[in-house]
């Protein structure tokens, strides 16, 4: 019988086995490392952002559990070609989904395929695995703003 839960699981397994946009990005003008000590997940994200504040390309490298890898893979697909303000909207929606009450439906209109990760809220210890990549992109953008200020 078809179940939505199985479909979600298949997407996560698929992205874990064959992560999209995996590897170093060259050239790239923003990057950052993220680490989740609770699980041992390590990520490095690379972004190429153009003058119009559009994420032209985004990749990641690292080692982590299936949730952190699938989340980073899905995130890179979702963010490629998006503006930085769209990133902020997705960041907020993803964070809200991961920390929402069990009964709350994810905002699929905003999240699209990222909604497959809504199941992590059943496992509080895995929420940081799913949100690590988003925090890493955020810090990549903030680091850039900082170095731009000191120049």
Structure-token pair, residue 13: 């397994």
Q: E strands of 27-84, at which residues?
A: 30-36, 41-49, 55-63
Q: How far apart are CA 100 and CA 6, in angstroms?
A: 21
Rounded to 10 deg, the angle between the 66-79 and 84-98 helix axes is 150
* The only residue of 11, 28, 54, 65 in contact with Zn ion, by rule CB under 5 A: 65
Residue range at the interface with Zn ion (CB under 5 A); choices 9-17, 32-40, 108-116, 135-143: 32-40
Site size toward Zn ion (CB under 5 A) is 5
* The only residue of 15, 19, 21, 41 in contact with Zn ion, by rule CB under 5 A: 41
CB of 6 to Zn ion, least distance (A): 22
Residues that bind Zn ion (CB under 5 A): 39, 41, 65, 68, 129
């Amino acid at each position: 019988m078809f179940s939505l839960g199985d479909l979600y699981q298949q997407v996560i397994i698929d992205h874990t086995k064959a992560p999209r946009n995996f590897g170093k990005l060259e050239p790239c003008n923003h990057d950052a490392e993220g680490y989740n000590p609770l699980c041992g997940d390590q990520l490095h994200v690379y972004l190429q952002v153009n003058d119009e504040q559009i994420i032209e390309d985004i990749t990641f490298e690292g080692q982590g559990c299936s949730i952190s890898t699938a989340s980073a893979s899905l995130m890179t697909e979702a963010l490629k070609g998006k503006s930085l303000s769209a990133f902020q909207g997705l960041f907020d929606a993803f964070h809200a989904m991961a920390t929402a009450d069990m009964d709350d439906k994810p905002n699929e209109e905003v999240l699209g395929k990222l909604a497959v990760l809504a199941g992590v809220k059943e496992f509080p210890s895995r929420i940081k695995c799913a949100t690590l990549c988003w925090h890493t992109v955020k810090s990549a953008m903030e680091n850039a703003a900082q170095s731009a200020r000191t120049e």
